[in-house]
Amino acid sequence: MALVIAGERSGVGKTTVTLTLLASLRRRDRLVQSFKVGPDYIDPMFHRHVTGRACRNLDPVLTSEAYVQQCFAGHSQLSEYALVEGVMGLFDGISSLVTCTERSRSIGHSSFAKDKGQRTNDKGQITDFASTAHIARLLDLPVVLVIDCSRLSGSVAAIAHGYRSFDPRIKIAGVVLNRVGSDRHLSLLKDSLEPLQLPVLGVMRRQDNITIPDRHLGLVPTAELPELNALIDRLADLGDTCFDWQRLLPLLKSESLSPSASSSLSPSSPVRIAVARDRAFNFYYQDNLDLLQQLGAELVFWSPLEDADIPKDIQGMYFGGGFPEVFAQQLAENSSVRDAVKTAILKGMPTVAECGGLMYLCEQIIDFEGKSWSMAGVLPTSAVMGGRLTLGYRRAVALQDNLLVKANTTVYGHEFHRSHLTLTPTQPLFETSRYDCEENMGCEGWGLPANIHASYVHQHWGESREIPQQFLKECLKVASSGMWI
């Protein structure tokens, strides 16, 4: 047993409710494992800050339905309580033209749409794949529905009834009424809900002193919030009084089992991988880092912002996404690190750079104000910030053998950025299309020099172990050649 926190739409306060629950549980010294539906990086950072445990993403597009089930089972059984934060509205998923046959030819997607009861449109496309409802069905978990009550009273019953009856397979355990204005407002809401006999598991009043700042790609990451601990304390105070814990705790309880035999792969020769992790680069799936370690890698975390040089005795580099544009001046001023990164790559250092990492390898980042800041200069292009948001799942077919995959291999990933490059690569890594239709999104990704993989497409390697294996294989070539940097 565990619990899914879902919203009736985006922006109703799922993350605030989730963090309030987690903060109150941790104050009670409860061991809790959290999960996040979808590809998001930032919400899991907040989960981890509260619980002290890495939050795990549950995304059947980036991995598979089977992996979602395995990931949840493997991690939830090691804690007392388990909580899943949903994505968007409860039934907001994607449609897909991808067939089982197509996915079987791709990396990491051995199954598709095992949930045969999924809703389809008149074209036969799956319409709620990867939604919170889909994950709740896959894991057979009850759902708590968060309703934003700031602009309604009696209509709350129609909303709750609609969500409970829309898909009978979804078990709505109760509701959390968020942004309640007054005692009178609460009375109207409860009176309206009473005929439904649907438990009110929490009531959160409007909170002017609890605000998590955001910017162009969502919430501001935890590393940039010096007052975060005080905020978490306020959430814990709120959680102690606003929830019906007598009803919630049994729902949150996880079946703690003895750890099963490790499924980790046999480590190869030790490989030291420099992983950039600081305020500028912090978008990593914990499962990717775990896989590298299971395969024998030693991860050396370092900061392109603060350190005077890249780590010594390394055989590979990994730059995740993040907000290099926000810290472009500081990155530019650290010229010794920029030069060291460029020198290492030009000497043949295998390097993976995703989104923000790709931007760092460019000649320049041009920020929202039009100011230019020098970057590592490995790629002959500049990253320009703009108002247009590029967002969505991608189906990407490799156009050539590259650092991570062979030509004609299909991988699945996610794009989320407001920058574009001034020049496109002459020999791109991928031809990309939208995941949910045949719309071609063009070619992208840099694979020259041949020891780099720089792409806007974020990948989760959970069911694609061939990718980190290939990366480490190339890193081992560095070791065998005696080239240590």
Q: Is 242 a catalytic residue?
A: no
Residue 343 is given by DSSP the state H
Q: Give CA angle at 390 (383, 301), nearest 5°.
A: 60
Is residue 405 within 8 A of residue 467, CB to CB? The reply is: yes
Please state the φ and ψ torsions of residue 341, each to the nearest 5 degrees: -60, -45
Please state the φ and ψ torsions of residue 15, each to the nearest 5 degrees: -65, -40
Q: If we measure between CA atoms, which residue out of 194, 160, 196 comes closest to residue 176?
A: 160
CA distance to 205, 267, 456, per residue, from 263 (Å) = 45, 12, 30
Q: What is the SS3 assignment for 451?
A: coil
Which one from 149, 355, 362, 475 is the annotated catalytic residue? Answer: 355
User: Which residue's entry shows tokens 């601990």?
Assistant: 229
Q: If we measure between CA atoms, which residue out of 296, 286, 354, 275 comes closest to residue 479?
A: 296
Burial of 337 (0-12, 13-18, 19+ CB in 10 A): buried
Q: If we measure between CA atoms, which residue out of 246, 367, 360 comes closest to residue 352?
A: 360
**Taking the CA of residue 454 as centre, how many other CA atoms within 13 Å lie in the half-sphere pointing to its CB?**
28
Q: Which H/E stretch holds residue 71? A: helix 65-76
Q: If we measure between CA atoms, which residue out of 160, 163, 103 comes closest to residue 128?
A: 163
Look at phi and psi of residue 408 and say left if phi exceeds 0, alpha if psi is from -120 to 50, else beta.
Answer: left
Q: Is the dihedral of CA 340, 343, 348, 351 positive or negative?
A: positive
Positions marked active-site: 355
